Amino acid sequence: MSRLFSVFVAFVASFLLIGSAQAEVKVLTSIKPLQLIATAVQDGVAIPEVLLPPGASPHNYALRPSDVRKVQSVDLLYWIGPDMEGFLPRVLNGRTLPSVAVQDLPGMKLRRFAEDSHSHAEEADEHDHDHRPGTLDAHLWLSPVNARVIADKMAADLSAADPANAERYQSNAKAFDGRLDALDARLKKRLAGIEGKPYFVFHEAFDYFEEAYGLKHAGVFSVAAEVQPGAQHVAAMRKRLQEVGKTCVFSEPPLRPRLAETLVAGLPVKLAELDALGGYTPATAQGYEQVLEKLGNDLAGCLESL
């Protein structure tokens, strides 16, 4: 009887050891685009979690107690950095497991908001007050070059944390890199016909994407969501649109600024949306490409329809 019991104990112990060795590495990202890159790397092994729900702003998100517990407990955490998720540094101070601010990764191609970004002092009506000249443009995930750097870092981290699946992570990162090559070619072809066409945005979030594909917005109509601009402010913005003629003005989902309809009333201007975060994109290996492809199609589609 004791021999049978010893065999049983040995079996249970070996089972627990195998289970421990194969324990899933828990990955959490701050925003959806990072989750989509991580999903491509973890494809076939696990699905990473994302902190912000669809529609939430990474600039001013309010963490719930459950969010704080999740941040403290996951094995690997990826975020853009303090220039984007200003709510995270305080919570991360108490975290002992690895946290990666991708804006600090070697090889990242970073931009800074410039004085000549159509937000000059003499054009105060178009100034994006949250994006002061000289500060880091943290919307870095919209550059395919940066997405490759992030994927490679995730693959390296996951391979170290989960050696049993290291080959899979590296293979997935290589496949992601190849899909980005194909995506880049498609986007260059899709956007070639709209180079030089003027358009306006409500938020200066797309400079990385524009730089990659030879585009440039003509102005930024930055308006705080809780503040209704005065008549003089609106008149100045309408004058700029009248000077340009047929054009598109893009807001970001889920909210369209309250003055949007007033701003374009009676003008040959179309209102449309560009989604930089892809909040409702399914977490699949191809999700990141879908966000950028939709961005390109929505941009080109509006400008081509004028």
Apex CA 23: angle with CA 17 and CA 28, to 5°? 160
Instruction: Tell me: pLDDT of 17 over 70.
Output: no
Averaged pLDDT, 29-38: 98
- pLDDT per residue as tens digits for the range 183-192: 999 999 999 9
Question: Residue 2 has what pLDDT?
Answer: 52
Question: Residue 232 has what pLDDT?
Answer: 86
Instruction: Tell me: pLDDT of 249 over 70.
Output: yes
Averaged pLDDT, 171-180: 98
Cβ atoms within 10 Å, residue 47: 14
Question: Residue 284 has what pLDDT?
Answer: 98
Q: Indicate the DSSP class of residue 218.
A: S
Question: Residue 200 has what pLDDT?
Answer: 97
Q: How far apart are CA 239 and CA 243, in angstroms?
A: 6
Question: Residue 7 has what pLDDT?
Answer: 41
Question: Residue 115 has what pLDDT?
Answer: 58
Of the pLDDT bands very low, low, confident and very high (cuts 50, 70, 90), residue 119 is very low
Q: Which of 112-121, 250-259, 277-286 has the highest mean pLDDT?
A: 277-286
Tell me the Ramachandran region of residue 55: left when phi exceeds 0, alpha when psi lies from -120 to 50, beta otherwise.
left
Of the pLDDT bands very low, low, confident and very high (cuts 50, 70, 90), residue 35 is very high
Instruction: Mean pLDDT check: name the lowest of 4-8, 89-93, 244-248, 298-302.
Output: 4-8
The answer to whether 112 touches 137, Cβ cutoff 8 Å, is: yes
Instruction: Tell me: pLDDT of 226 over 60.
Output: no
Give the CA distances from residue 119 to residues 127, 205, 258, 259, 273, in Å, rounded to whole numbers and listed in that order: 4, 13, 21, 19, 21
Q: How far apart are CA 27 and CA 46, in angstroms?
A: 9
Q: Is the peptide bond before 254 cis (omega within 30 degrees of 0)?
A: yes
H or E segment at 34?
Answer: helix 32-42
Mean pLDDT score of the chain: 88
Question: Residue 126 has what pLDDT?
Answer: 37
Cβ atoms within 10 Å, residue 211: 16
Q: Indicate the DSSP class of residue 203.
A: S
First to last CA, the chain: 85
Per-residue tokens: 139: 């919307």
Instruction: Tell me: pLDDT of 123 over 90.
Output: no
Strand partners, 111: 137
Pairing of strands 99-101, 111-112: unpaired
Edge-to-edge, what's the strand order for the sheet holding 76-79? 49-50, 27-29, 76-79, 99-101
- pLDDT per residue as tens digits for the range 54-105: 999 998 899 999 999 999 999 999 999 999 999 999 999 989 999 999 999 9
Instruction: Tell me: pLDDT of 263 over 70.
Output: yes
